[in-house]
Amino acid sequence: MEIWDHGKLTVNKAFASLFRQRGWETFASIWVETANAAVAKKMRTDRITLSFTLDDHGTQRTFFIKRHIRSSWKEYIKPLLRLTWPILGARNEWNAILHFHDADIPTMTPVAIGESGENSFLITEGLDNCTKLSRLGGLDDRRDPETIKRRRRIIDEVARIARTMHAAGLHHQDFYLGHLMISQSAPGRIYVIDLGRVQKHSTLARRWIVKDLAQLDFSADTTLTEQRRFLRQYLGRPLSRADRRLIRQIRLKRAAIAQHSNKNKL
């Protein structure tokens, strides 16, 4: 990484020359020039994700910039009422991306982070030729042998990712299928995205493991046999009587997530 603009801007060396060519060497230059980029996602007034392309010697490269501005008091109070600390700004997701790379978990490529006062942004490179697992087609016919094999490969890989993530002390907090991207050009490779709420602990509490697995279970249309397969792969061994408590906790948390989703029409 290279540190620019008196510490306000950190840039991945692999993209440094591309930014310099465009004159993007300060927080302000990037903040201003990306302001009118195409909106990719906006769920809160204090955070918006935009997409833009840059020409790199004739090749168009896609990037995403997640811009954070001052949050309302509501965003501070909500987590405090749940006895958790607010996660605001771009820094947490930047650190999470680096943690995921350290753990060898496929995720976004970190490009740059900028921080100035109460404003901050995170830039990542787009994942080419990828589809969200929640939108992946061709997996409905569970009588087709090839479809069954493909579903099993995906289940095994997601279980491996979850096991690696938790073994590294990382919990996602939004571990739904919509935040897992599968590559069409590198079959079987799955990326984890939207790491804004990821937390890292020296020892991961059971409740965080249960929450991640319940979120995944809630968003996945799987059979009981597939759920058991996932848990065997996640645990790295056959299921035993001792695992009944974990299964029960996951089911209870999944029911709570479903109730919350129905209540808030999510």
Backbone region of residue 33 per phi and psi (left: phi > 0; alpha: psi in -120 to 50; beta: other values): alpha
Considering 46, 156, 174, 243, which one is annotated as catalytic?
174
Q: Which tokens hold the place of 159? A: 């279980």
**Rounded to whole angstroms, how far apart are CA atoms 150 and 164?**
21
Widest Cα–Cα separation across the chain: 61
Which backbone phi and psi does 22 adopt, to 5 degrees? -90, -10
DSSP, collapsed to helix, strand or coil, labels residue 198 as coil
Contact assessment for residue 176 and residue 213, using Cβ atoms and an 8 Å cutoff: no
**Rounded to whole angstroms, how far apart are CA atoms 158 and 154?**
6
Closest CA relative to residue 154, chosen from 174, 143, 139? 139
- Write the CA distances from 83 to 12, 78, 93, integer angstroms: 35, 9, 21
Our answer to whether residue 174 is catalytic in this structure is: yes
Which amino acid, 9? L
Positions annotated as catalytic residues are 174
